[in-house]
Structure 1
Amino acid sequence: MALVLFDTETTGLSRHFDQIIEFGAVRVNDDLEVEEHFETACRLQPHIVPTPSALHVTGRSYAELTSPLRRSHFEMISEIHRRFTGWSPAAFIGYNSIRFDEEFLRHAFYQCLLEPYVTSIGNARGDVLKLVRAVSKLRPDVLPAAYGADGQRSMKLHDVAIACGFKSNGAHEAMADVEAMLWVVKVIANGAPEIWSSFMRFSTKAAAQEFLQEEDVFVSFEAETAGQGFRLLTAFGQHPVQSARRYCLDLTFSVDAIRGASDCELVEMFKQREGPLRRVKTNASPLLFPMYEVLESTFPGTVEEDVLNLARSVHSDESLVRRLNTAALAAEPVYGVSPHVEQQLYDRFIPDIDKALMQQFHAVPWALRNEVVARISDDRLRRLGQRAIYFEMPHLLPDKSRTMLDKAVRDRWTGDATAPWTTASSALLDLDAISDRLAHPNLVEFAEVLAQWT
């Protein structure tokens, strides 16, 4: 399976309401040699207000991002989707990609009426940030300690890459980040091949699920957790609808206390962020290790046989397992339904008949796309399809629809600072927090743009 390393640059941190403005990717072979290279960029969509902090970091100006010489967002996202489809099957990996870059891509694909889960369907996924954090713990001899400009330990991509000998051509550019990531990946693959092999193995959902079924006890690395990041787990169940979400018990907690807890107490224990319930998402590139390989280095002094006996005592207690599954399901977070179409991707699956119409939407000339949108049953996709036509070919819409969308764009800019997206007023607040803003001409220019909307 080929390996694709990719990176995005965005207007902010919200996968729902910000957008990708720059994208870079390389396709490499088993020897990590680049076979194909792809990079692209686009202009801002009319309703997107970039965060000043993003402009500050990247040095880009609003005039640059709105230049008609840059391709449209719709064109860029469509090209990325075609490229990913053509590169499949592959393992798609990035740096903090599972939580950030992939989420931006999924929501961009969804908003452009494209299959959102292209990196998951028949493909594998991986996150190099998690890999780097694990290697720094398990094999500190492989990755030299990295430090940021403030002198503090850093896990930022370019800091890690430079510590490994990479000569940076510029951070916060998508292709520069891809090149830095490839350098780090090569260092790990050569210096810690056993961890690299585990990382690649569990980039596929099937391998992760099989591992959880076979291992009574295993060690999982959670890159975001407090402390050392390793968990000593045993799997006991799964979500009844989302089969990729496996329920696991952290065996460093007292199993006797868990047994003795009431049903309500058990649910509350499972709701705790650092509690005994751990959810392993087999489709999100978990980093898993057989207990016998890493127990001494991750949980020194722990006796393997004692842990195995503890796990077996849990699995042999059918009543306890039922209670654990019931409590785990009851502890699942409940999210409200958003009125904003950008936040509705995960509300429900797209009907197959609408998926066919999505493909037709991209296949026919723009003059016929309004007719295709009218036949879509999913109201989310109808709204997004009409919006895509408005952004690309507004003259094809009826006057009433175009007037409504004109107002929607104005409302995005003129909304108050409490809106879930960046508005002109919230951008000005962000701008005021940048102490050296007057030293950056692009921020001075952007302040003038924002002032026109407030």
Structure 2
Amino acid sequence: MSDSFLFYDLETFGADPRRTRIAQFAAIRTDAALQEIDAPIDLFVQPADDLLPSPVATLITGITPQQARAVGVPEADAFARIHEEMARPKTCTLGYNSLRFDDEFVRFGLYRNFHDPYEREWRSGNSRWDLLDVMRLWHALRPDGLVWPVREDGATSFKLEHLAAANEVRTGDAHEALSDVRALIGLARLFRSAQPRLWDYAARLRDKRHAASLLDTIAMMPVLHVSQRYPAARLCAAPVLPITRHPRIDSRVVVFDLDGDPDWLLDLDADTIASRVFVRREDLPEDVARIPLKEVHSNRCPALVAWSHLRA
């Protein structure tokens, strides 16, 4: 599917991609066997004069606006290079929690600097991937081959810094973009070496058509869904049943968590169901359970496993 993987990471001056900017971009291109094929890229980006950086972000990354201004390049130049690398044909761009965080900064930055924000994700055989839920999938189904760090509450930690330290793939400091990229490549190599079939299976889920084929609302066959939305006590996994497609966005499918009582869907009217879905759990009365409906996005590399593929 891809000739190369572009592993990348960002450090930013804040958490909101609409209002804050990138402080550092780092990337390493590998071949399909995860061997480096190009020189690493490491860019600092000059901050905008009219935006104040978040003090919290600066404390986390250690990148001050003065440092970025002194050694960085203008944002327009940075995004010209980012676009050039990500838009190279048959490139899979991937990171860690990148779909929810880094990719959003890239989209807004590309748009702000007069590049198409989406084409690099699909044109010319390109794709994107996020290894965070892939690591959860590995842990839930075939955990051999990796040391899984444990938090104080007894749950597995999926933070990149903890996984990298436990498996000795870190070179450099956490929250330094190029160091994080090298750590992620190290974990990916361990995954591919320890569980090659699962790695190849997960890689297919980059294709939204393949992911959508597992969410068949006509056959309504259950699948295993791995996501941060499910508690660690359940290995971040749940058997779900595809119920219906989103009425306006075709890439989304509504699923029902089969750990819940399906009679709720059969007995309650639409307004009551909505009142028990679109509400925080703590806002529900003590004797009322939240109805476990969830949207799965076929174009966001969901971690799905067909029920027929599961075995004890």
Q: TM-score range by the shorter chain?
A: 0.7 to 0.9
Match for residue 223 of structure 1?
A: 228
Query: Structure 2 vs 1, CA of residues 137 and 210 (structure 1 numbering), >3 Å: closer, same or farther?
Result: closer
Match for residue 254 of structure 1?
A: 261
Q: Percent identity?
A: 24
Matches within 5 A, 1:425-436: none
Question: In the alignment, does 2:117 pair up with 1:116?
Answer: yes
Distance in structure 1 (CA, Å) of the matches to 2:57 and 2:121:
29
Question: In the alignment, does 2:295 pair up with 1:279?
Answer: yes
One-letter identity of the residue aligned with 2:301: S
Is the contact made by 2:205 and 2:211 (CA closer than 8 Å) also made in structure 1? yes
Q: CA deviation at 1:147?
A: 5.5
Match for residue 97 of structure 1?
A: 98
Q: CA deviation at 1:81?
A: 0.9
Query: Structure 2 vs 1, CA of residues 240 and 42 (structure 1 numbering), >3 Å: closer, same or farther?
Result: same
Q: CA deviation at 1:91?
A: 1.9
Match for residue 19 of structure 1?
A: 21
DSSP-derived class of the 1:34 partner? coil
Is the contact made by 1:247 and 1:277 (CA closer than 8 Å) also made in structure 2? yes
Q: CA deviation at 1:38?
A: 2.4
1:184 to 179, 187, 194: 187
One-letter identity of the residue aligned with 1:189: R
Greater share of helix: 1
Deviations 1:51-89 (A, max 9, x none): 12222222233321222x521112101221122112x32
Structure 1 residues without counterparts, runs of 5 or longer? 297-454
Match for residue 249 of structure 2?
A: 242
Is the contact made by 1:84 and 1:118 (CA closer than 8 Å) also made in structure 2? no
Deviations 1:284-327 (A, max 9, x none): 1100001133365xxxxxxxxxxxxxxxxxxxxxxxxxxxxxxx
Query: Structure 2 vs 1, CA of residues 253 and 45 (structure 1 numbering), >3 Å: closer, same or farther?
Result: same
Which structure has the larger Rg over C-alpha atoms?
Answer: 1
Distance in structure 1 (CA, Å) of the matches to 2:205 and 2:221:
17
Q: CA deviation at 1:175?
A: 1.2
Deviations 1:332-384 (A, max 9, x none): xxxxxxxxxxxxxxxxxxxxxxxxxxxxxxxxxxxxxxxxxxxxxxxxxxxxx
One-letter identity of the residue aligned with 2:296: V
Distance in structure 2 (CA, Å) of the matches to 1:78 and 1:63:
23
Greater share of strand: 2
**TM-score computed with the length of structure 1 as normaliser:** 0.60
Deviations 1:194-224 (A, max 9, x none): 3312220101212111222377111111124
2:144 to 128, 141, 144: 141
Structure 2 residues without counterparts, runs of 5 or longer? 281-289
DSSP-derived class of the 1:207 partner? helix
Is the contact made by 2:273 and 2:291 (CA closer than 8 Å) also made in structure 1? no
Distance in structure 2 (CA, Å) of the matches to 1:199 and 1:21:
31
RMSD: 2.4
DSSP-derived class of the 1:231 partner? strand
Matches within 5 A, 1:36-435: 36=38, 37-67=40-70, 69-86=71-88, 88-122=89-123, 123-146=126-149, 154-213=157-216, 216-227=221-232, 228=234, 229-272=236-279, 275-294=291-310, 296=312
